[in-house]
Amino acid sequence: MSIQWSLVLFTALTGLAGWLFACVLISEWTNRAERTRFIAMLSGLVLMAVGGFASVLHLSHPENMLAALSHPTSGIFIEAVLVGISALCAIVYLVLHARKASDTVRKVFLVISAIAGVALSFMAGSSYMMSSCPAWDTPLLPLGYLGTALAMGSLAYLALVGARGSKEDASFFAKVALAGSLVGVVLAALYVFMVPEVLNAAGSWAIAAVVGNLAAAVCAGVAMKKPESATALAAVGCVLALGAGMAFRCAMWLSMVPINDFFNMI
C-alpha cells in the first residue's frame, strides 16, 4: 500500500499537540515554566487544527465528512471526538488563563485536554489494528504511535521553555524530554524489530524511525547538561523526532505491500 501522507500528518501533528498539552499539565503540577504554558497550549491548538484538516483531505469527498462520523463505534469517530474534546478544552483553558481565572477551574480543563490528547496519540494507531493485516494487528503499533508522539511533544515543549523559561526550568524539562525520547526509541524499536513485515517491506523508513528518535534523545541529554542551549538543541531534537515519527507511520503503511503483491499474483 502507498503511503497515505494526509493520515501521516494527521497522526503525527495531533499526537505532538496532545503531548504538548500533557507537558503543560506537568508544568502546572510542578509549578514550573509558567510563562511557557499559554504559548504551548496555543501552539498545540494550531497543530491539532492543522492535523485535523489533514485528515479531512484524506477523504475522496471531504464534503461527506459528517457521513463518515455517523458510526459511533468506528475509529474515525473516536478520533474526531478526542480531537474535538482536546481542542475545545484547550480553548477554554486559554480563555481562563488570559482572564487569570482560578487555578482549580483552569486545571480541570487542562487535565481533560491533556488526557484526550494523549489518548488520541494511542487511538490513532489502535484504529488501524485489523486481523487482515498481520503487520498492523499488534498492540505494538499504537504503542509506537504513542511513544513517537511523546518524543515530539516533550522536545517541542522543551524548545519553548528554553526560549521563555529559566535555566532551572529548562534543565527539568530536558529530563522530561530525555525520558520521552527514550520511550519513543524503545516503543518504535519494539514494533520495528518484532514485526518482521515492517523491516522486510520498509527497512529504511523503519530504521529511520528508531535512529531519529535516538538522535533526538541525544539532543535532550545534551540540553540537560547545557540548559542555556536548550532552545536550539530541543528545536533540532523536535525536528528529528517529528521526522522519526513520520518515518514510523510511513513504515506502517508500506508494511502492507507484501500482502497487496500476494493478491496481485492471484
What are the tens digits of pLDDT across the range 78-132?
Answer: 888 999 999 999 999 999 999 988 888 999 999 999 999 999 999 999 999 988 8
CA 164 to chain centre: 23
Q: Phi and psi at residue 4, in whole multiples of 5°?
A: -95, 90
CATH number assigned to the domain comprising residue 107: 1.20.1630.10
Number of domains in the chain: 1
pLDDT confidence of 38, banded at 50, 70, 90?
Answer: very high
Domain extent at residue 236: 5-264
pLDDT in the model for residue 264: 43
Top-confidence residue, 80 or 172: 172
Lowest mean pLDDT among 92-106, 186-200, 241-255: 92-106
Q: Chain-wide mean pLDDT for the chain?
A: 90
CA end-to-end span of the chain, whole Å?
Answer: 17
234 Cβ contact list (under 8 Å, min separation 6): 155, 156, 158, 159, 161, 162, 174, 177, 219, 220, 223
pLDDT confidence of 67, banded at 50, 70, 90?
Answer: low
pLDDT confidence of 65, banded at 50, 70, 90?
Answer: low
- C-alpha distances in Å from residue 150, one per residue of 1, 17, 42, 90, 130: 27, 10, 18, 18, 24
